[in-house]
Amino acid sequence: MNARIPLALGAARAAAALGRRLGRGGGTALPGLLAERIAPDAASALARPLAGGAVLVTGTNGKTTTARLLAGMLTAAGRPVVHNREGSNLTRGIVSALAAAADWRGRPRDARAIALMETDEAALPAAVRALRPRAAAFTNLFRDQLDRYGEVETVAARWREALALLPPDATLALNADDPAVAELALDWRGPVHWHSLAGARAGTGDPGPADARWCRACGAAYRYAARYAAHLGDWRCDGCGRARPVPDTAALAVERAPDGLRLDVSGLGETLLPLRGLYNAGNALAAVALARVLGLPPDAIRAGLAAARPAFGRGETVEFGGRRLRLLLCKNPAGATEALRLLAEDGAAEVAFLLNDRFADGRDVSWIWDAGFERLAGNVRRCRAGGDRAADAALRLRYAGWPAPASVTRSPAAFLDAVAAAPARDGPVDVLVTYTALLDLRAELSRRGAVAGAAVSG
Ligand SMILES: [Zn+2]
């Protein structure tokens, strides 16, 4: 073991303790950042002794929910897990999680554990190199914050770079419904486990703009027998005959239930997933696919699905001032469009859009014009705009045909004051919110005693 590891772990532990004292959910990255500065190979040194090996989850949307679902399945199967959490998708977050699960010398507290890591596109090659995963899931590929990750093609190139670094016997869990993800199989000779929403009825209304349009193998345009969302669906290329692969794990039916989704998954039977939105059915399938690759028994897979809870900002609800706030993180056009579709299904009456443009949100906010806010025109009774770019948010809502915002506020405190000024009988408020705006809102809610502040960190 590298002699610098104990020193790196000491720094990580001190930073984690400080983060906890300051009550920062974002304290998840700093310990790893420090540890990596001191011992650049900390990730591989800490992951190597784990007998369960490593699993990576990547993709534009759904990483957090997919990884959490799989963590629940592993726990139900009695398998110890080391899991990085929200906001720590770069290698420093991976190191933070591994450091927290190791003793001071860098030996794992439970050597049977499996490392389950969600990874941003940008950090994927480094994570693959450090962890040498036995399985990797690719959920989907959408256009994300452009200035941070570049165009879809750049991300796809990064993915191919990561594939070349994977152990040749690693299994890819791929979303068959996303042609951009399916293209990875063109470069991969190892095993693949495909999953698909094949049995889901195509989404109601406009599935939104498609991000993958042309076949990489031949350049022809993709054609769809059904589209679930954006470019996800039953696709084929007339140019070269490539088409959606036959799934190993498929949803035979997806139905809305009062408190979530009822899924019928091939080989698993009917299961209740207590999460809303078709995109969460896709996340569940990705988790089931990985669980099968890892050999988990069906009972544990079902138990993990049934125990699902919304992740931070993925539909969690918070009581505030007698009203219920539902927090829906949106980071890119596809994610925002899916959140808006969920609100359209649920009949949202009061909706707020909090838009920041800090580094973690993407500095370029032009993506909001590609998100389908029009979907809710005529349904929203009252709306609010907020965040550092509140004026841009307000303008977007006006162009989408929403009513004039009842409040346009930059600070989360002013936003909550405006919400609290309305009577409790006005009912719930759905809050679409970018990443750093969500962190700020969470902190302000916590200050006002509306949420238990500890729920986020990890
Ligand atoms: Zn083709």
**Nearest of 335, 333, 58, 55 to residue 184 by alpha carbon:** 58
CA of 121 to the centre of ligand 1 (A): 25
Secondary structure string (H, E, C) spanning 116-150: EEECCHHHHHHHHHHHCCCEEEECCCCCCCHHHHC
* C-alpha distances in Å from residue 374, one per residue of 32, 224, 377, 400, 436: 41, 23, 5, 5, 24
pLDDT tens digits for the chain (458 residues)?
A: 578 989 888 888 888 888 777 765 545 778 888 888 898 899 999 999 999 999 999 998 899 999 999 999 999 999 999 998 755 667 888 998 999 899 988 899 999 999 999 998 878 999 999 999 999 999 998 876 555 556 778 888 889 999 999 999 999 999 999 999 999 999 899 999 999 999 887 555 566 666 667 888 898 999 999 888 888 999 999 999 999 999 999 999 999 887 889 999 999 999 999 998 888 999 999 999 999 999 999 999 999 999 998 776 778 889 888 889 999 999 888 889 889 988 988 888 899 999 999 988 888 899 999 899 998 998 899 999 999 999 999 999 999 999 999 999 999 999 999 999 998 888 899 999 999 999 999 999 989 988 643 333 22
CA of 230 to the centre of ligand 1 (A): 19
Q: Say which residues have a Cβ less than 8 Å from residue 45's Cβ, sequence separation at least 6.
A: 1, 2, 5, 39, 106
Task: Write the CATH number of the domain with boundaries 314-455.
Answer: 3.90.190.20
Pairing of strands 54-58, 114-118: parallel
Q: What is the pLDDT of residue 203?
A: 53
Q: What is the pTM of this model?
A: 0.82
Residue 363: phi, psi to the nearest 5?
A: -75, -25
Neighbours of 175 (CB within 10 A): 29
- Secondary structure of the chain: what % helix, strand, coil (to 5)? 40, 20, 35
405-439 residue pLDDT tens: 999 999 999 999 999 999 888 889 999 999 999 99
CA of 178 to the centre of ligand 1 (A): 14
**Over the Cα atoms of the chain, what is R_g?**
21
Class of the 5-306 domain?
alpha beta
Token pair for 341: 């579709």
Q: Say which residues have a Cβ less than 8 Å from residue 198's Cβ, sequence separation at least 6.
A: 176, 177, 234, 247, 250, 251, 252
**Nearest of 86, 33, 39 to residue 438 by alpha carbon:** 86
Q: What one-character DSSP code corresponds to residue 109?
A: S
Break the chain into its structural domains and give their ranges: 5-306, 314-455
CA of 216 to the centre of ligand 1 (A): 7
Q: Are 278 and 200 in contact (CB under 8 A)?
A: yes
Distance CA 401, CA 379 (A): 10
CA of 186 to the centre of ligand 1 (A): 11
CA of 221 to the centre of ligand 1 (A): 8
Distance CA 411, CA 440 (A): 9
CA of 237 to the centre of ligand 1 (A): 5
CA of 128 to the centre of ligand 1 (A): 29
**Nearest of 312, 361, 424, 398 to residue 67 by alpha carbon:** 312
